[in-house]
Amino acid sequence: MYKIDEGIFYVGVNDHSIDLFEGMYKVPAGMSYNSYVIVDEKIAVLDTADAHFGDVWLANVREVLGDRQPNYLVIHHMEPDHSANIQNFLKVYPNVQVVGNAKTFTMIKEYFGFDVNNAVTVGEGSVISLGKHSLRFVMAPLVHWPEVMVSLDEASGALFSADAFGKFGALDIDQPWDDEARRYYIGIVGKYGVQVQALLKKAAALPIKMICPLHGPVLKGDLSHYISLYDTWSSYRPEKDAVMVAYASIYGHTKAVAEMLADILKKAGKEVIVADLARADRAKCVADAFMCSKLVLASVTYNAEIFPCMREFIDCLAERNFRSRTVALIENGTWAPISAKLMRERLSGCKDLVFADQTVKIRAAFSEENAAEIENLANELLK
């Protein structure tokens, strides 16, 4: 528990026991489940915490409240890592009013099997006054669930942003924001760029002075860096003119050619990220592909298909609306090299991709013919 601003307190918890967030994202630095309390003439508790941390979270709330009774429990987002302790909270504070939108209360019934008797339903622009503080609600559907809303405390300028502007990592481990926020955004929110853009347009009209997300640190000071990155990510624009070379190799031949291309590009001054898709963290690879302006996919042909880790990587890109990039292909196959054709087909639903003219075709292992192809491809990527 700590004080964020006058009358605003952080009461969230850190989770160091979790290995996979949402069952798939590696979180070696753990996670935070953020919750906040605003103490004024009336008291509002904003969101709860993961089911495994109910006692810790409630103890944090009690540390702030003492003997005082809260008036409101605000639910910005119904994902269980934020809503699982609603019923526990109501057992301790049975007279509290639960604030949500119509979809919030439907989901409470679906997830936890009870109806909220003392519900306060809010919509776009609704305001709840706490005294000096007041919460103005903004609907943010599909950022990244349909019931999501955010709220602005008009006294402090604190935007309680639900999962927007969140990141992986517990708060007691110091990490740079960008990389883990990018991996979080692209993996979890990335499909919903249109909806994030809609929220950013609403947010631009609000006097925001700090951002209080449901995961990761409270963001203060110059917020333009974070907002600019969210604008870039949700517009599907690359962050930098760089090349990602992602390969799937069995005996090392495809890897050798991928690294050969990467070395040529690096020597020419190009920033390059190289990833072994069979071993690297999938979520980071996906985030890196979105960060770069150019992507090279190098895969063996396997069972007359793309090698599985490459196929899954491409599917992850397509699911998240990968677009507006240059893509180059390297294929390897002894008797039936068709992975380039299949990779291109698998990307067919992605918009505004430009494919390099040169495809590198490896027959089992590197040949002198490949040297010329690699040189031609490097020159294309350096333009």
Mean of pLDDT over the chain: 96
Same domain, 121 and 269: no
Query: In 3D, which of 173, 129, 112 has the Cα closest to residue 38?
Result: 129
Burial class (CB in 10 A: 0-12, 13-18, 19+), 113: exposed
DSSP SS3 for 348: coil
The enclosing domain of 309 has a CATH number of 3.40.50.360
- 100-142 pLDDT, tens digit each: 999 999 999 999 999 999 999 999 999 999 999 999 999 999 9
Q: What count of Cα atoms within 13 Å lies in the side-chain half-sphere of residue 261?
A: 35
Burial class (CB in 10 A: 0-12, 13-18, 19+), 297: buried
pLDDT at 41 over 80: yes
Same domain, 157 and 270: no
Same domain, 171 and 89: yes
DSSP SS3 for 378: helix
Same domain, 8 and 40: yes
Same domain, 373 and 309: yes
Structural domain span for residue 278: 243-382
For residue 206 the two structure tokens come to: 């609000």
Same domain, 59 and 152: yes
Pairing between strand 127-129 and 134-139?
Answer: antiparallel
- Give the mean pLDDT of 59-82: 97
Confidence band of 80 (pLDDT split at 50, 70, 90): very high
Q: Give the end of a domain, one of 234, 256, 291.
A: 234
Domains in the chain, number: 2
Contact criterion met (CB below 8 Å) for 307 and 274: no
- Give the mean pLDDT of 174-195: 96
Q: Give the end of a domain, one of 200, 234, 268.
A: 234
Query: What's the one-letter identity of residue 143?
Result: V
Q: Give the end of a domain, one of 183, 204, 234.
A: 234
pTM (2 d.p.): 0.94
From first CA to last CA, the distance across the chain in angstroms is 53
| pLDDT of amino acid 366 | 84
Same domain, 214 and 283: no
Same domain, 219 and 248: no
Same domain, 205 and 273: no
Confidence band of 369 (pLDDT split at 50, 70, 90): confident
Contact criterion met (CB below 8 Å) for 233 and 204: no
The enclosing domain of 135 has a CATH number of 3.60.15.10
Same domain, 328 and 181: no
- 236-256 pLDDT, tens digit each: 999 999 999 999 999 999 999
Q: What CA–CA distance (Å, rounded) separates 270 from 341?
A: 27
- Give the mean pLDDT of 137-157: 97
Confidence band of 365 (pLDDT split at 50, 70, 90): confident
Cis peptide before 144 (omega within 30 of 0): yes
Same domain, 35 and 167: yes
Same domain, 37 and 122: yes
- Give the mean pLDDT of 279-299: 97
Distances in whole angstroms, Cα of residue 323 to Cα of each of 193, 237, 262, 378:
12, 8, 22, 21
Task: Label residue 137 left, alpha or beta by phi (over 0 means left) and psi (-120 to 50 means alpha).
Answer: beta
